[in-house]
Structure 1
Amino acid sequence: MCCTLNQRTKRLNHDELSNNELNKSIGNIDPETVARWLESSGNYKVLRRIQMRDTFAGQINSPVKVLVVDTETTGLDFATCEVIEVGAVLIEVDQDTGAIGAVLGTYGGLEEPKVPITPENSAIHGITNEMVKGQRFDEAALKTLCDEAALFVAHNAAFDKPFMLRRFPWLEKSIWACTFRELPWTQENYSGRKLEYLLSDCGYFHGAHRAVEDCNALVHVLAQPLKTSQRMPFQVLFDSANESIYQIAALKAPFEKKDFLKSKGFRWNADDRVWEFEAVGFSEGKEVIEWLREQVYCTTGKIMLGFRIQAGVDRYSGTALKQQFKEV
């Protein structure tokens, strides 16, 4: 259907009038009321920016102190690259229910590296050489928070812990859990394991990709029940933190199975030229072994695999443990 120029002009004037009226009255509208109204229609999903909070749940009956940690670095190799930002949020968690209570303390600091930050690296986290110039971590303030924590949590502990250990050797006895690896995000029907996906599924978004902001974002995610089971994330983490990590190497795996291995979560170890999988706990390790036997080696008999086992303080430490070979 076509319309005359006069009709289009009238429609435009009407739209402009509506927008002007809306602009005049928008200051009187509570944004949260609008957000809930949009959500109630079933046609919109509204994400709320995370806010700094002092508390999440009410009374905590069996409190344990947990430090949520995030780092920004000059690169990926903890042996050669440096930490340039540390974020840490100390929280109390109910050991029985997994509920998060009060936020007990926060640390955020920058440090100038020995080697300048590259433009490519700066593009990832937004930290420039000008921002870190002359900066040093307040190690005493950070250590005060760390000394109170019974458990350290990071969204990629295999990355963050080795960097933290190299910069702060006094963390050598710390026990870490990994929210990226140890929580069943896929089984719980989340969109993905990345923090941005988890936040979105929980109804939140956050701003700059910086250490303290990422810590606060992770705390908000961990404060909500898992989507399907309705268990609290810390109920899972407290159990898994006591489990050993089994690094399983698929020795002499057929080349044509490489995509199959990758889809399962195996990673290629270029140094040893082998596909490896990190299983958390004996049960997952056993499941992976049976999967390899049936789907990769296609046999009902025994198979030869390589194993590295990390337990306690060795978990996610980046320590190169001696590989053991075993027929299973």
Structure 2
Amino acid sequence: MKLYDQPCASAAMRLHVQALEARAEDYRVLHRLPHADEIWLSPTPSTGAVTLGVIDCETTGLTDTDRMVELALAKIVIGDGQVVDIKPPISMLEDPCMPLSEDVRRVTGLNDEDLWGHSFDENLLATELGDVDVLVAFNSAFDTRFVRQRFPHIRHPWICALWDFDWAGAGYQSRNQTGLLAERGHFYTAHRAAADAWALLVLIANPAPDGRAIAAHLVERGQQIDVRVSAAGAPFHVKDDLKAAGYRWQPDRRVWRIDVAEADATAQVDFLRALHPLIRPVVQEVDWYNRHCR
């Protein structure tokens, strides 16, 4: 991500920052997230641009009976692997008709009075989604569940910033959004939908090691067709073997599963059958419409 020079409080402050950054072995300087007008945009290609809708939602909790109380949508347009346009987030609130827990109030800063009488503007949301090709959240397994529950008519494909990009392979050590942005030299106040959506947009606007925007890699990965292999009936004592082989536990379905390329599916089935006779391998094709759905 290329930035225009960000305004500094004063020339003296700029000198202090430069002095600290020159001593990287002793200090790390974190900057606020850039504003939209501080991000350099590439020329828009004549064809092939993809618009990503960057989603974040805040909820009353983590269970299937909880409700979404805040939704934000930002947009980033990718063309020829580069950022060609961005749109800051819109956000909206909705009254869940139930008191917020103390934990939710503490984490988000929202209270019952903030939400009272509010409803999501479905017409505005439909308009904003009109030019969106694919939705992205940091942990899409969480956001897709609440978005599709509240807006069943939204049928966009989804990609996941957490799982659809090889952060470790790109040299990152963190696995959460705040930490990843800190590695890029930024900080922000998390756990409000608009702030989190903008933070994710900034994160995926950054370049991958090959020079293309991370968002371009997310789209490329999302469009791939995979095979999901589930280890139905796996006994408890083989969980470490499954975890070591890259399988992830899905608590809602109570099954270990892995997504692999179609060419690798047979090897996974053979692995499961050899691991334990009680395991019944289940094979399912997945794409960006169902990859991150429960």
Q: Given the two structures, how large is their TM-score scaled by the length of structure 1?
A: 0.75
Q: What is the CA distance between 1:189 and its match in structure 2?
A: 2.1
Asked if residue 307 in structure 1 is aligned to residue 290 in structure 2, the reply is no
Query: Which residue of structure 1 aligns with residue 17 of structure 2?
Result: 35
The range that moved more, 245-254 or 81-90, is 245-254
Residues 165 and 317, structure 1, Cα contact 8 Å, conserved in 2: no
Query: Which residue of structure 1 aligns with residue 111 of structure 2?
Result: 128
User: Once the two structures are aligned, what percentage of the paired residues are identical?
Assistant: 28
Structure 2: runs of 5+ lacking an equivalent: 1-8
Cα distance change of structure 1 residues 59 and 72 upon mapping to structure 2, 3 Å threshold: same
Cα-Cα RMSD: 2.9
| Aligned counterparts of 2:289 and 2:31: Cα–Cα separation in 1 | 37
Asked if residue 118 in structure 1 is aligned to residue 101 in structure 2, the reply is yes
Larger helix proportion of the pair: 1
Cα distance change of structure 1 residues 247 and 104 upon mapping to structure 2, 3 Å threshold: same
Q: Greater RCO between the two (CA within 8 Å, min separation 6)?
A: 2
Partner of 2:174: helix, strand, or coil?
A: coil
Residues 78 and 216, structure 2, Cα contact 8 Å, conserved in 1: no
Query: Which residue of structure 2 aligns with residue 325 of structure 1?
Result: none
| Aligned counterparts of 2:284 and 2:119: Cα–Cα separation in 1 | 36
Larger Rg computed on CA atoms: 1
| Aligned counterparts of 2:89 and 2:15: Cα–Cα separation in 1 | 31
Q: Number of aligned pairs?
A: 281
Query: Which residue of structure 2 aligns with residue 48 of structure 1?
Result: 31
Cα distance change of structure 1 residues 28 and 71 upon mapping to structure 2, 3 Å threshold: closer
Q: What is the CA distance between 1:260 and its match in structure 2?
A: 4.4
Structure 1: runs of 5+ lacking an equivalent: 1-26, 319-328
> Counterparts in 2 of 1:134-283, with a 5 A limit?
134-171=117-154, 173-226=155-208, 228-253=209-234, 255-262=236-243, 265-270=246-251, 273-277=254-258, 279=259, 281-282=261-262
Cα distance change of structure 1 residues 166 and 251 upon mapping to structure 2, 3 Å threshold: closer
Deviation string 1:178-233 (CA, Å, 9 cap, x unpaired) is 1111000122221122101210111111113211111111111112112x444431
Q: Given the two structures, how large is their TM-score scaled by the length of structure 2?
A: 0.83
Q: What is the CA distance between 1:92 and its match in structure 2?
A: 1.8
Q: What is the CA distance between 1:298 and its match in structure 2?
A: 5.5
| Aligned counterparts of 1:168 and 1:56: Cα–Cα separation in 2 | 34
Query: Which residue of structure 1 aligns with residue 77 of structure 2?
Result: 92
Q: What is the CA distance between 1:274 and its match in structure 2?
A: 3.0
The letter for the 2-side match of 1:89 is: A
Residues 240 and 281, structure 1, Cα contact 8 Å, conserved in 2: no
Cα distance change of structure 1 residues 272 and 196 upon mapping to structure 2, 3 Å threshold: closer
